Amino acid sequence: MALLAGDDLDRDKFFKAGHPVIKGSTFDLTIGSIFDAKGDRKVEPYNLKPGEMVQVVSAEEFNLPNNVTGHVTYKTRLTRKGIWALTVGIIDPGWNGPMTTTLFNFSKVEFPVAIGTPFLRVSLFQHKGVHDSLLKTSGLASEYKREVQSDASTVFPRSFLNLDVVASSASKLALKSFNRTAIALIAASAIVFALIQLVITLSPPFVSGWSSDTQLEIEKLNYQIEMLRQEFDSSTQVEMAKLRHQMELQGQDLDTFTQVEVEKVRQEIELLRQDFDNFKNKNLPSDLSTESNEN
């Protein structure tokens, strides 16, 4: 198998339509048709948004003999601008149609996809002839393009991996986990408060003998609240870092919904501590309340 280069790269020999750009050992293919996620054909430059995909078909149509195989790669100049061709590979001997690929914008800015722009690079390799029964053809170019147009509207999503949906879902799941933890402890603390209030109300003569048990419960509750605060702060940092990484892939900053919801949970925990302090000051004997505050 030999790589064709220089004078061996003959447009008329390997193509039946279009104007491929001849390089030293490759041909550059140019964009001939653009189909968006709705399957609509675009004539004017299409502004490909960050994270968005679009289907493009080459203006050039191959006419490969049975002893030549093509190898397609993406243009490195496009990748430097954040545009990646997702489907590249081998062109079988006998192929007599255009090439199609999916362009994906993984940059943070829009990119104009225009007809005539070089987008793929093709190397041709000559080898022993392949039997006619193994040759692969494309059929009519018009039918091939209609198939690509149909796939664009029915198979491919508009954005790669739907990153906006992924980030939003991850944010909601993280906040749901935080809320469950905080609400569970708040509910448990409320029950403890109610029991303490009930005992004080119904059994004031026994408050002095009960003080040591109460002190122990207060210390346990203080410890639980503090552990919740530490766990919440630690989990928040980890989860927000994950969400920030997801959103940065599409150029967004984590400064809206997530931070607002996290702050709400943090305020609930702080209110719980304030309620607990107020309860001690109002309902416990002065010596016991002072002792608890000192601890």
| pLDDT mean over 152-180 | 55
CA distance 264 to 266: 5
CA distance 59 to 31: 6
Asked whether the predicted pLDDT for residue 167 surpasses 90, the reply is no
Q: CB within 8 A of 189, min separation 6: which ones?
A: 221, 224, 225, 272, 276
Minimal CA–CA distance to 13: which of 1, 4, 3?
4
**pLDDT higher at 51 or 172:** 51
What's the start-to-end Cα distance of the chain, in Å?
84
Which pLDDT does position 284 carry in this prediction?
57
Which pLDDT does position 207 carry in this prediction?
47
CA distance 229 to 270: 9
Which pLDDT does position 288 carry in this prediction?
47
Minimal CA–CA distance to 139: which of 148, 152, 129?
148
Single-letter residue type at 30: T
For 30, the 3-state DSSP assignment is: strand
CA distance 28 to 35: 20
CATH code 2.70.40.10 region(s) in the chain? 2-158
| pLDDT mean over 195-213 | 55
**pLDDT higher at 1 or 81:** 81
| Sign for the pseudo-dihedral over CA of 51, 110, 43, 33 | negative
| pLDDT mean over 127-139 | 82
Within the chain, strands assigned E span 2-3, 15-17, 21-22, 27-35, 41-42, 46-48, 53-58, 61-62, 68-74, 83-85, 90-91, 100-105, 111-113, 118-126
Average pLDDT, the chain: 76
Class of domain 2-158: mainly beta
Q: CB within 8 A of 173, min separation 6: which ones?
A: none
| Dihedrals phi, psi of 251, to nearest 5 degrees | 75, 25
